[in-house]
Chain A
């Protein structure tokens, strides 16, 4: 049977062909453009006509006061997001699992998944109004005698806004993976715990949470790969010049350098640095995940 099939694998290659062709053109063809980071790009001369400058662009980047700040901002925002994004879905998944009425559980799930599917363009439009100085949130704070808080324009508050709204957007969707893991826990564990006299709380503490251990570790490990991704979509839509000092991240900085200021070489250099470091981080976290939790993607 195998002999008969060998001659037919061309069909499998044929199925790959259209997709692979598009990947080669739109994802591999831009790669040589990376040389821009090592050239003094003059648009009229084209990528290959422009002069080589070696590492000059990178040196220049080091001397820019913004670069270090932007790199630091990126790490800080991404780290805070990882720290706050990780416990909430676990808590909600455990609590959802305690709900007995299937209809209530399903309704809550549908509602908490929603924000994940809405774009930051839309959400920023809502949040910027809700949290403005005369917005509803500040009006509500006013009832308790609090002074209006400049959520969107104060650098410190703005970072908290970024983290809080990011947690809000994603916690529901992230429960999916934990709920599935909880469903997979062996029923007999709970039954024997009940015989031993464990109440609900003790069952959660001694069976549910430890059973989630591996998946929690996996999610945490993999999230380290994204430590340079502070969330371009969100920051770009929500920020304003008032908070650039703390909210400007690598991706928004590259946008302003490349598209607004047309400084292609510097934009490429910073983007390249991010890609290389990001690649190393992702591969490392993936290898760790594979080693310690048998996780594979292909």
Chain B
């Protein structure tokens, strides 16, 4: 840290700077706090847009109502299964592929061919229609596999892992090779334990990706009951979910607005819990993986 000059101007700047950053941070948090406040408010104030950051006519009835109806819980369940399968698959494949690709071409002939194969499809996409027709002809419409298999290899994450593993010192492997260890054994016993920061990063990234995905659910699921949470929320927010609105009208403390807010908040919770814990890892992961080559 550079030294400070304790002038009056310096102090004034420090105060202004802290205030500015605090406001910027508050702006980022505002929508979350607002939606929490609305979700705990009564139907009347919520509908009249009278809730800002604190619940008006506090009630938990929108949550009670949510947990007693199927569509939200079903969608939450679909998303939970999707994240479990998707993250496991993404992480395993990414770690497996990052290791060989972190080798030099001399050590792993064919490395560059694989690299081009991956980078090309990262840059060039067949587009919506051919992808849709493929999923359809594979018979994966309405199947969980349509949501996890097309994104099974997150190429950006593979590159992150590759760059991370490239930076591990060669010596640790060489001693093991002397003792007759195979690549497979090295990967499992030496490389993976040293890769915790990048593993935390890619787990977070693929968790966020799968949790937040909504578009594939919209086009690949014909059966609304199989919508993942964000796809279901999309229909709620765009007021295309007739059931929620009709059911909501027969209650005095719950309406479409408070229900919507409660569902939005519940959909945020996994993210709100996960990312602050992994923050120290992904800052490092992004910088190492994206800037250094």
Interface residues of A (CB under 8 A from B): 1-2, 4-5, 8-9, 11-16, 18-20, 22-23, 25-34, 36, 47, 92, 95-96, 98-100, 104, 107-115, 117-119, 121-130, 132, 134-136, 139, 168, 172, 176-177, 179-181, 187, 190-191, 193-194, 199-201, 203, 215, 232-233, 236-237, 251, 254-255, 258-259, 264, 267-268, 271-272, 274-275, 278-279, 282-283, 294-298
Contacts and interface: CB of A to CB of B under 8 A. Distances in A.
A19 B24 contact: no
A298 B119 contact: yes
A16 B236 CA distance: 41
B10 A275 contact: no
Given A26-B150, A139-B49, A180 B291 contact: yes
Nearest to A138: B49
Given A12-B183, A258-B132, A108 B127 contact: no
Contacts of B52: 136
B18 A99 contact: yes
Contacts of A1: 174, 177-178
B287 A177 contact: yes
Complex A-B, nearest 6 residue pairs according to Cβ-Cβ distance, in ascending order:
A33-B130, A271-B127, A296-B293, A119-B212, A190-B2, A12-B100
Contact of B183 (A11, A20, A264, A279): A11
B130 A30 contact: yes
B249 interface: no
Given A92-B21, A176-B283, A177-B287, A15 B49 contact: no
Contact of B230 (A11, A121, A298): A121
Given A18-B96, A23-B153, A26-B152, A114 B159 contact: no
A33 B237 contact: no
A112 B153 contact: no
A177 B17 contact: no
B67 interface: no
A202 to B, nearest CB: 11
Contacts of A190: 2-3
Contact of B127 (A2, A34, A121, A135): A34
A114 B130 contact: no
B235 to A, nearest CB: 10
Contacts of B34: 126, 130, 136
B171 interface: no
Contacts of B211: 119
A26 B109 CA distance: 25
Nearest to B237: A125
Most chain B CB inside 10 Å of its own CB: which residue of A5, A98, A294:
A98
